[in-house]
């Protein structure tokens, strides 16, 4: 099999696995920290820092409450992307919560994931 076929098959496998996992998951429960399937909808936003995450991606990340867990998931996604030879930019991935204006994942100032400092979301504004 050529590389393109392998990559396509891996992507199809990940999508099917994600659909199976999401069908049985409690929608309000934080996804498991040992699987990147919960952030598959963020794949395009992990390729480039200039790409904005989709609403589905932001909704998927909104379920996370623990910075260590989300970091573990993103590092797993980076490893899987490397195996599948799919582009993955960790800096872009770490910016997704900020781009989504998420405040559900709290990380202390200077928190790092994979050796990179995680950008912080701006504090909520009062109206």
Mean pLDDT of 81-99: 92
pLDDT tens, residue by residue, 102-119: 877 777 788 899 998 887
3-state secondary structure of 33: coil
Pairwise CA distance, residues 65 & 77, whole Å: 18
pLDDT at 98 over 70: yes
60 and 38 Cβ atoms separated by less than 8 Å? yes
At residue 65, does pLDDT exceed 70?
A: yes
- 113 three-class SS: strand
Q: What's the rounded Cα separation, in Å, for the pair 11 and 92?
A: 20
Tell me the pLDDT tens digit for each residue of 14-62.
Answer: 443 443 344 444 555 667 786 788 888 999 999 999 999 999 999 988 8
Residues sharing a CB contact under 8 Å with residue 67, sequence separation 6 or more, in sequence order:
105, 106, 107, 108, 111, 113, 118
Residue 103: phi and psi, rounded to 5, are -120, 10
Nearest Cα to Cα of residue 60 among 48, 77, 47:
77
CB 25 within 8 A of CB 31: yes
| Helix (H) or strand (E) run with residue 103 in it | none
Please give the model's pTM, rounded to 2 decimal places: 0.69
């Amino acid at each position: 099999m050529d590389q393109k076929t392998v990559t396509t098959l891996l992507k199809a496998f990940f999508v099917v696995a994600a659909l199976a996992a999401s069908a049985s998951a409690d929608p309000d429960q934080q996804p498991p920290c040992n699987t990147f399937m919960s952030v598959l909808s963020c794949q395009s936003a992990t390729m480039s820092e200039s790409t904005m995450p989709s609403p589905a991606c932001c909704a998927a990340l909104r379920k996370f409450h623990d910075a260590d867990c989300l970091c573990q998931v993103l590092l797993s996604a980076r490893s899987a992307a490397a195996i599948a030879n799919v582009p993955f930019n960790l800096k872009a991935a770490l910016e997704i919560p900020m781009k989504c204006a998420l405040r559900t994942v709290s990380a202390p100032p200077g928190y790092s994931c994979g050796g990179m400092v995680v950008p912080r979301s701006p504090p909520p504004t009062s109206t």
